[in-house]
């Protein structure tokens, strides 16, 4: 006895709901407290003369500080690039068909992750005690403090990067590799053109995090007398005893650098997000251009 009904939607839309919002007194109290705490801290930082902001200003762009800054920057860059390349190699070894290569890669990562960076740096710094001569040269001439820092940072970073890259490669759908193989693409082409570009989406965010950690971590090389940013300010305050203002100089520079590091990461993430869901938000540059184009109209 059932009959088919055609449903027509010609009714008028009911009025939109207009209700009194719930009161949230707890939220207001918490907000007030938080603002008060922040205000007290800011007030003390600005008014406490012991911070000596004028001294900070004087040394902020001092030549010794800037030289240390440059050293910190290129140490970070070398460790990042070298570590990423070696780490990628280690990840590929780990995922290769050869159980021996995979085991070597695992041992490497295990070894370099299970000891503190500080201890590793001291080891490289004192390597001449183990091997007095290397390749026919006096090891002490070959491995300076700076060289020990470079070697130590690259090898340590590689172990971290290897795990990040491996996770990235594993995050790529195995069907991608199959489809590429089925098309007759060569193994290297499959890795470089199909798998790695997709893996980069999962690699860039933790690698950015890792880079910020690395930049700050380079401060540790000051313990083996490498002239980095921290070492530079230490040299100065050892002479003039202005410890706090000079530490503030280093602190501000580290903050500026880590903030700036977020910019290339943002663009890298956009680059590797090609073809993923939805429209990408405009970059700041695009937003500016659009605003001016709009204003001109």
Q: Annotate 209-229 with b (16+ C-beta within 10 A) or e (fewer).
A: ebbbebbebbebbbebebbbb
Q: Cβ closer to other proteins: 78 or 101?
A: 101
Q: CB 102: neighbour CB atoms within 10 A?
A: 14
Binding-site ranges for other proteins (CB under 8 A): 173, 175-176, 178-187, 189, 193-194, 197-198, 272, 274-277
Our CB check for other proteins shows the closer of 169 and 246 to be 169
Nearest distance in Å: CB 101, other proteins: 16
135 Cβ contact list (under 8 Å, min separation 6): 142
Instruction: Name which of 275 and 284 has its Cβ closer to other proteins.
Output: 275
- Find the shortest distance in angstroms from Cβ 162 to other proteins: 23
Nearest C-alpha neighbor of 209 from the set 162, 256, 265: 265
In whole angstroms, the minimum distance from the beta carbon of 201 to other proteins comes to: 8
| CB-facing half-sphere around the CA of 167: CA atoms within 13 A | 12
- 49 vs 184, which CB is nearer to other proteins? 184
User: 165 with 91: CB under 8 angstroms?
Assistant: yes
Neighbouring-strand partners of residue 134: 137
Smallest distance from the beta carbon of 203 to other proteins, in angstroms?
A: 14
Which backbone phi and psi does 104 adopt, to 5 degrees? -60, -45
Q: Which is nearer to other proteins, 185 or 257 (CB)?
A: 185
Distance CA 120, CA 113 (A): 10
In degrees, rounded to 5, the angle at the alpha carbon of residue 51 between the alpha carbons of residues 48 and 55 is 130
Overall size of the chain counted in residues: 297
- Cα distances from 243 to residues 50, 183, 257, in angstroms, run 10, 64, 21
Q: Smaller CB distance to other proteins: residue 93 or 221?
A: 93
Residue closer to other proteins by CB (options 80, 92) is: 92
Closest separation between CB of residue 184 and other proteins, Å? 3
- Minimum CB–partner distance for residue 295 and other proteins (Å): 30
Q: 165 near 210, Cβ under 8 Å?
A: no
CB 271 → other proteins: shortest distance, Å?
Answer: 10
């Amino acid at each position: 006895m059932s009959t088919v009904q055609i449903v027509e939607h010609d009714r008028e839309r009911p009025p939109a709901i207009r209700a009194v919002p719930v009161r949230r007194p707890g939220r207001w109290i918490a907000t007030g407290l938080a603002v008060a705490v922040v205000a007290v801290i800011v007030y003390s930082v600005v008014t406490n003369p012991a911070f000596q902001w004028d001294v900070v200003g004087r040394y902020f762009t001092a030549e010794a500080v800037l030289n240390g800054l440059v050293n910190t920057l290129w140490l970070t860059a070398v460790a990042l690039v070298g570590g990423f390349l070696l780490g990628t190699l280690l990840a590929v070894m780990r995922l290769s068909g050869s159980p021996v290569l995979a085991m070597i890669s695992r041992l490497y990562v295990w070894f370099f992750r299970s000891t503190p960076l500080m201890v590793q740096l001291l080891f490289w710094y004192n390597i001449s005690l183990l091997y007095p001569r290397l390749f026919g040269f006096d090891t002490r001439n070959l491995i300076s403090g700076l060289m020990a820092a470079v070697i130590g940072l690259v090898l340590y970073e590689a172990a971290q990067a290897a795990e990040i890259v491996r996770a990235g490669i594993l995050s790529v759908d195995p069907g991608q590799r199959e489809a590429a193989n089925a098309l007759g693409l060569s193994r290297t082409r499959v890795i470089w053109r199909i798998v790695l570009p997709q893996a980069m989406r999962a690699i860039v965010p933790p690698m950015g995090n890792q880079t910020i950690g690395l930049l700050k971590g380079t401060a540790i090389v000051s313990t083996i007398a490498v002239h980095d940013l921290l070492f530079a300010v230490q040299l100065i305050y050892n002479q003039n005893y202005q410890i706090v203002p000079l530490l503030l100089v280093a602190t501000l520079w580290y903050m500026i650098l880590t903030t700036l590091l977020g910019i290339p990461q943002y663009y890298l993430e956009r680059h590797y997000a090609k073809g993923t869901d939805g429209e990408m938000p405009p970059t700041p540059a695009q937003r500016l251009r659009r605003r001016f184009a709009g204003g001109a109209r």
